[in-house]
């Protein structure tokens, strides 16, 4: 895959995925003055950044509601403005339950989804901001503000299980620290649950350790044997991968011969590079020692791909674009990418966007919700007819959906006549 990750940092909180012991999920605050200094990673955001948090509550005692709080601190001597151009936060139930879907559906309004993380990135891809979030937050010098103070209710749900996924695009006018925190709902004197206050979140940040139970410890890079990727809790370097898919040194991508295919890997990682030797997993600038070494899967990374397709022949050609999930492999077998006669588990679930021009020159934007099993042969996203000696650019972009499993490939196939 041409291109690279940009340098925009992402606050990535996904460990522990299943929260049963409240505490600090991820804190980039300084460790000074904290009861558990090792729970704080000392990283300040300044300028554009993104934020992803994805956690579940399972079987809490007495069916208490777990709250997630995102606390932001301005350590400076002047006010800081935190702009929020796009944001979404959804519960598993009732907002976006996991559900089987057809392989591909047009999704013009975002009404189709199959999980809270999938719905959150769909909303942000469209540049939308949920109405319960402001367009900007002003943080006074030395002050704290809550960016999120949202519940994960479980009472009355199957298996007492629920989860929440949140994705935010932000920009800060000055340095800020960020923490993602988990707390069971405090109760009023009458015994009813209430939302935690800012002061209660501040106390938890200062006195608590890491939330639990801890996930599986990841395998260090280069160690042989069984590979455990681990869950991510840290700040990754990179929020977008922008690329023009063209022939080396050229401005266009020449169509393959009829019956042939070009394939570009997407979201490659250790043990899943399809023979390219390329890992696209975002490196982590700071992390907890028992969490992932890289942002495997690149959840919420914006893949923004342009394909300047060139039919250099003297005859019309038909080209098909397909996003698919072959059987994961680090090296290619002699037959190339492998698929299964009986695909099983869903590996890619989420919305992608296509932009291109019609034969009449009209700009077209289409959204598709995809639901693909690993190794499944799937239908093309788009089939185009290219006239002789013509070029047409197609743009494909999506935020890599949480609850999907990498890697994928984008195939460009010239169909036989």
Cα separation of 76 and 55, whole Å? 31
Tens of pLDDT, residues 274-298: 999 999 999 999 999 999 999 999 9
Cα separation of 366 and 166, whole Å? 24
Asked if residue 124 has pLDDT above 90, the reply is: yes
Q: Is residue 261 part of a domain?
A: yes
Q: 189: which residues sit within 8 A by CB, 6+ positions away?
A: none
Q: Examine the domain organization and report whether 190 and 339 are in the same domain.
A: no
Asked if residue 417 has pLDDT above 80, the reply is: no
Cα separation of 318 and 353, whole Å? 21
Q: Examine the domain organization and report whether 39 and 179 are in the same domain.
A: yes
Q: Examine the domain organization and report whether 343 and 247 are in the same domain.
A: yes
Asked if residue 158 has pLDDT above 90, the reply is: no
Q: Give the per-residue pLDDT at 403.
A: 87
Confidence of residue 358 (pLDDT cuts 50, 70, 90): confident
Q: Examine the domain organization and report whether 185 and 317 are in the same domain.
A: no
Asked if residue 401 has pLDDT above 80, the reply is: yes
Report, as an integer, the average pLDDT of 232-250: 97
Q: Is residue 289 part of a domain?
A: no
Confidence of residue 309 (pLDDT cuts 50, 70, 90): very high
- Cis, bond preceding 407 (omega within 30 deg of 0): yes
Placement of tokens 């492998």 in the chain: 338
Q: Where are the alpha helices (DSSP H) in 30-140?
A: 116-125
Q: Is residue 155 part of a domain?
A: yes
Q: Give the per-residue pLDDT at 333.
A: 85
Asked if residue 211 has pLDDT above 80, the reply is: yes
Token readout for 306 is: 């342009």
Confidence of residue 365 (pLDDT cuts 50, 70, 90): very high
Residue after which a domain boundary falls, among 207, 231, 258: 207
Report, as an integer, the average pLDDT of 221-232: 92
Asked if residue 387 has pLDDT above 90, the reply is: yes
Cα separation of 80 and 74, whole Å? 7
Q: Examine the domain organization and report whether 173 and 255 are in the same domain.
A: no
Q: Please state, for a pLDDT cut of 70, what percent of the chain lies above it.
A: 100
Q: Give the per-residue pLDDT at 22.
A: 96
Q: Is residue 218 part of a domain?
A: no
Q: Is residue 97 part of a domain?
A: yes
Q: Which residues of 107-144 are buried (b: 16+ CB within 10 A; e: fewer)?
A: beebebbbbbbbbbbbbbbeeebbeebeeebebeeeeb
Q: Is residue 321 part of a domain?
A: yes
Q: 3-state SS string over 43-75?
A: CCEEEEEEEEEEEEEECCHHHCCEEEEEEEECC
Q: Which of 296, 154, 161 is nearest to 219 (CA)?
A: 296
Residue after which a domain boundary falls, among 164, 181, 207: 207
Is 0.95 topped by the overall pTM?
yes
Report, as an integer, the average pLDDT of 351-365: 92
Range from 30-34, 55-59, 77-81, 256-260 carrying the lowest mean pLDDT = 55-59
Q: Is residue 290 part of a domain?
A: no
Cα separation of 287 and 21, whole Å? 20
Q: Examine the domain organization and report whether 158 and 261 are in the same domain.
A: no
Asked if residue 222 has pLDDT above 90, the reply is: no
Q: Give the per-residue pLDDT at 51.
A: 98
Q: Please state, for a pLDDT cut of 90, what percent of the chain lies above it.
A: 93
Token readout for 225 is: 């044997």
Cα separation of 178 and 12, whole Å? 11
Report, as an integer, the average pLDDT of 367-375: 97
Q: Examine the domain organization and report whether 153 and 47 are in the same domain.
A: yes
Report, as an integer, the average pLDDT of 361-382: 96
Q: Examine the domain organization and report whether 192 and 267 are in the same domain.
A: no
Q: Give the per-residue pLDDT at 118.
A: 97
Q: Give the per-residue pLDDT at 237.
A: 98
Q: Is residue 216 part of a domain?
A: no
Confidence of residue 377 (pLDDT cuts 50, 70, 90): very high
Asked if residue 62 has pLDDT above 90, the reply is: no
Query: What are 287's strand-pairing partners?
Result: 234
Q: Give the per-residue pLDDT at 150.
A: 98
Q: Examine the domain organization and report whether 63 and 167 are in the same domain.
A: yes
Q: Examine the domain organization and report whether 115 and 261 are in the same domain.
A: no
- Domain hosting 346: range is 242-281+299-414
Report, as an integer, the average pLDDT of 212-227: 92
Placement of tokens 């300028």 in the chain: 47
Tens of pLDDT, residues 178-203: 999 999 999 999 999 999 999 999 99
Q: Give the per-residue pLDDT at 360.
A: 79
Q: Which residues of 242-261 are buried (b: 16+ CB within 10 A; e: fewer)?
A: eebbbeeeeebbbbbeeeee
The count of domains in the chain is 2
Q: Examine the domain organization and report whether 155 and 53 are in the same domain.
A: yes
Q: Give the per-residue pLDDT at 361.
A: 84
Confidence of residue 359 (pLDDT cuts 50, 70, 90): confident
Q: Examine the domain organization and report whether 253 and 368 are in the same domain.
A: yes
Q: Give the per-residue pLDDT at 13.
A: 98
Range from 51-60, 162-171, 238-247 carrying the lowest mean pLDDT = 51-60
Q: Give the per-residue pLDDT at 8.
A: 98
Q: Give the per-residue pLDDT at 32.
A: 98
Q: Give the per-residue pLDDT at 303.
A: 98
């Amino acid at each position: 895959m041409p291109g690279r990750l940009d340098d925009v940092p992402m606050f990535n909180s996904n460990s522990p995925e299943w929260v049963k012991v409240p505490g600090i999920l991820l804190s980039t605050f300084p460790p000074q003055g904290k009861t558990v200094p090792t729970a704080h990673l000392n990283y300040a955001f300044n300028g554009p950044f993104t934020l992803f948090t994805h956690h579940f509550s399972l079987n809490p005692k007495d069916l208490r509601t777990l709250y997630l709080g995102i606390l932001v601190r301005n350590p400076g001597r002047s006010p800081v403005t935190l702009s929020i151009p796009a944001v979404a936060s959804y519960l598993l139930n009732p907002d976006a339950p996991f559900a089987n879907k057809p392989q591909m559906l047009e999704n013009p309004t975002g009404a189709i989804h199959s999980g809270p993380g999938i719905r959150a990135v769909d909303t942000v891809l469209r540049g939308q901001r949920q109405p319960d979030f402001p367009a900007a937050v002003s943080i006074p010098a030395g002050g704290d503000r809550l960016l999120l103070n949202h519940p994960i209710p479980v009472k009355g749900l199957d298996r007492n299980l629920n989860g929440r996924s949140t994705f935010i695009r932000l920009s800060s006018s000055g340095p800020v620290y960020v923490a993602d925190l988990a707390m069971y709902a405090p109760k009023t004197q009458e015994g009813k649950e209430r939302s935690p206050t800012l002061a209660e979140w501040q106390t938890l940040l200062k006195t608590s350790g890491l939330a639990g139970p801890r996930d599986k410890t990841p395998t260090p890079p280069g160690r042989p044997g069984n590979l455990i990727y681990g869950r991510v809790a840290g700040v990754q370097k990179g929020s977008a991968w922008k690329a023009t898919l063209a022939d080396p040194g050229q401005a266009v991508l020449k169509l393959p011969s009829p019956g042939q295919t070009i394939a570009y890997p997407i979201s490659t990682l250790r043990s899943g590079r399809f023979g390219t030797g390329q890992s696209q997993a975002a490196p982590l600038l700071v992390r907890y020692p028992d969490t992932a070494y890289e942002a495997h899967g690149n959840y919420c990374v914006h893949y923004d791909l342009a394909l300047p397709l060139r039919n250099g022949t003297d005859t019309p050609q038909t080209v098909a674009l397909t996003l698919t999930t072959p059987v994961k492999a680090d090296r290619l077998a002699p037959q190339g990418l492998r698929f299964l006669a009986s695909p099983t588990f869903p590996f890619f679930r989420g919305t992608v966007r296509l932009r291109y021009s019609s034969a009449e020159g009209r700009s077209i934007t289409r959204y598709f919700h995809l639901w693909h099993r690993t190794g499944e042969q799937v239908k093309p996203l788009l089939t185009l007819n290219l006239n002789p000696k013509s070029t047409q650019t197609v743009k494909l972009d999506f935020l890599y959906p949480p609850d999907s499993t990498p890697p994928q490939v984008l195939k460009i196939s010239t169909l036989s006549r």
